Amino acid sequence: MKKKVISVLVAATMVVSLFTACGSTSKDSAAADKTKTEDTAEASDKEAKDVSDLVIGEIEYAVVEDGGWAQAMHESMLAACKNLGIDTEKNLLTAEEIAEEDPSLIESTIEEMVDNGADIIFGCSTGYGAVLAEMQEEYPDVVFAQYENDIYENVVEFQIRGYEGEFLAGYLSALMNTESNQFGFCASMDEASVRTALNSYALGAKYGNPDATVQVLWADSWYDLDVEGQNAKTLIDNGIKYMGMEASSPAVPQTCEQNGAFCIGYNINMQPSAPKAVLTSFTWNFAPIFEEIMQQTADGTIKIDTDYYEGGDCAKLADFNADLVPADVQAKVNELKDKIASGEVSVYAGELKDDQGNVLVEEGQVMSDEDILAQDFFVSNVTGGKK
C-alpha cells in the first residue's frame, strides 16, 4: 500500500513538474548559443514564385487561442496571409504546443513542414532559434525566421519595439488620471521583456505627468489568475485607479471592472473581456514584418541574415474604448505616436535615471538598442522594482 501511495505521489509530482515546465516556457530569455555558421548570408537563388502559392510553417509554444502571446502571433500571421492572398486553410501549417526545450520535437515538426512543402518556417517564440539555425543548413531552400534579435546569421530574425506602444499606454493613463499621481502595474516575471513593458509604461506616464509614479506588483508567474487578480485588487485598495499590465489573462481587467478601476490590456485586445475597464490594449502586430518576409521569399530576394526590429504600426495600441476615452485624449495619444514615428520623441532619451539614482542615459543622448533589449534596470519613477 505504502509503495503504491508513494508511486502515485511520484507520478503526480512528475506530471506537475511537466506542467510547470510547459507553463514557464513563454518568454524566458533563452540563452541560446551563438552558432557560428560559415554560411555567407546571400540571397537564396530560388526562383521567384507567386506569393499566394507560398506554404507557410508556423511553430507556436501554446495553442493559438491562448489569449496571449501565441494568439497575437497567430492573428498577425493570419492578417499577413490574408493581405497577400495566401489560403490559410491550405497553405498555413500551424504547429501548436511545441515545447521550446524539446529539440527533437521541434526538429520533427520542421521536417514535417518541409515534407509538406513549406517555403518559410516561422519560430514564433524564443527558444526555437538554435534548432532553426541547425535545420537551415539541412534545408537551405527553406527560409527560417525566428522571434529573436540578431543571434543567427542564417535565420531571419524579427522583434518589435514594444516599448513604443507601452509608452503610449502610460501616456494615455496619465491623461486619463486627472486626480492622482499614482499609477499601478501588474507584472508577471522579472525578465527583460517585462521590465521593458513596465519601464516604458512608467516613462509614458511621466511624459504625461512629470510627478507620476508607478507601483509595480509581481505575480512571479507567467500565468496565475488568482495572484494577478489579487495584485490588481491590492493596487486598487491602495487608491490606484489606473494601471498597466504585463500578464496573459484577463484577470487584471476583470478585477478592475469589478472595482471601478481602469487598465490597459496586454498582448491582444482585451476590451471584450472587460468592456468597462479596458481603455485600450497593447498589442503585438507582426503582420507588416511577416508580409515583407513572405513577399521577399516569393520574389527570391530575401536575405536570410536580415534582422527586423520594428516600431510604428507594429507596436501600436488596439482601438480605443470609445466609451471611456474622450476624443481629445485619443487625438493627443495619436499625436504622440506620430512624434515617436518621426523621431521627435524618443522613449529612452536622457537624462534618464534608474530607481537607485544612477544615470542610465546622459542628457541629450538616447539609449542604444542593445540596452533597450536587455533592460536590467527600473526607471526612477517605478516603485517596487526588484533589487
Partner 1 sequence: MTLIISLLSGALVYAVSVMYAGIGETFSERAGIMNLGVEGIMLMGAVTGYMTAVSTQNLALAFLVVLFTGAVLGLVFAFLTVTLQSDQTVCGMAMLTFGTGLSGFLGKNVAGVAANLKFENIAIPFLSDIPVIGPILFQQNLLVYAMYFIVPIAMFYIYRTRYGLKLRALGENPAVLDAGGENVFAMRYGYIIFGSVMMAISGACVSLGSTNFWSSGMTAGKGWIAFALVAFSSWNPLYLTLGALLFGFISCLGSTLQIYLPNVPTEIYSALPYVATVIAFILATGNFRKKHTAQPESLAVPYDRESR
Q: What is the 3-state secondary structure (H, E, C) of 21-54?
A: HHHCCCCCCCCCCCCCCCCCCCECCCCCCCHHHC
Strand 359-361 and strand 352-353: the pairing is antiparallel
Exactly one of 233, 295, 365, 371 binds partner 1 (CB under 8 A); that residue is 233
| C-alpha dihedral, 369 to 373 to 379 to 384, nearest 10° | 180
Nearer to partner 1, 4 or 90 (CB): 4
Coarse DSSP helix, strand, coil percentages of the chain, rounded to the nearest 5 percent: 40, 20, 40
- Give the binding range for partner 1 (CB under 8 A) out of 104-112, 199-207, 214-222, 308-316: 214-222
Among 50, 53, 65, 87, interactor with partner 1 by CB under 8 A: 65
Can you state the angle between helices 287-299 and 69-84, rounded to 10 degrees?
50
Applying CB under 8 A, the span of 41-49, 61-69, 167-175, 325-333 interacting with partner 1 comes to 61-69
Closest by CA to 58, choosing from 7, 102, 121, 141, is 121
d(Cα 342, Cα 33) in Å, to the nearest integer? 36
Of the candidates 70, 74, 126, 69, the residue with the CA atom closest to the CA atom of residue 267: 69
Query: Is 85 within 8 Å of 294 (Cβ atoms)?
Result: no
What does the buried/exposed string (b/e) look like for 351-370 if buried means 16 or more CB atoms within 10 Å of the residue's CB?
Answer: ebebbeeeebbeeeebbeee
**For partner 1, what does the binding mask look like between residues 242 and 281, x meaning CB under 8 A?**
-------xxx--x---x---------x---xx-x------
Nearer to partner 1, 218 or 290 (CB): 218
Q: Any contact of residue 8 with partner 1 (CB under 8 A)?
A: yes
- Name the one range near partner 1 by CB under 8 A: 14-22, 199-207, 289-297, 304-312: 14-22
Give me the amino acid identity at 75: E
Sole window of 103-111, 218-226, 282-290, 319-327 interacting with partner 1 (rule: CB under 8 A): 218-226
The answer for residues whose C-beta is within 8 angstroms of residue 289's C-beta and 6 or more apart is 158, 160, 308, 310, 314
Is residue 3 at the binding interface for partner 1, with CB under 8 A as the rule? no
Residue 109 or 273 having the CB closest to partner 1:
273
Q: At closest approach, how far in Å is the CB of 340 from partner 1?
A: 29
Least distance from C-beta 202 to partner 1, angstroms?
16
Find out whether the peptide bond into 137 is cis, omega within 30 degrees of 0: no
259: three-class secondary structure by DSSP:
coil
Does residue number 66 form part of the binding site for partner 1 (CB under 8 A)?
A: yes
202 binds partner 1 (CB under 8 A): no
Q: Which is nearer to partner 1, 234 or 334 (CB)?
A: 234
**6 touching partner 1, by CB under 8 A:** no
For residue 355, state whether it binds partner 1 (rule: CB under 8 A).
no
- State how far the Cα of 263 lies from the Cα of 275, in Å rounded to an integer: 11
| Residue 11 found at the interface with partner 1 (CB under 8 A) | yes
- Based on CB atoms, which residue is closest to partner 1, 123 or 250? 250
Question: Which of 54, 62, 155, 174 is in the footprint of partner 1 by CB under 8 A?
Answer: 62
Residues that bind partner 1 (CB under 8 A): 1, 4-5, 7-8, 11-12, 15-16, 19-20, 23, 62-63, 65-68, 71, 215, 217-218, 220-221, 223-227, 229-231, 233-234, 237-238, 249-251, 254, 258, 268, 272-273, 275, 383-384, 386-387
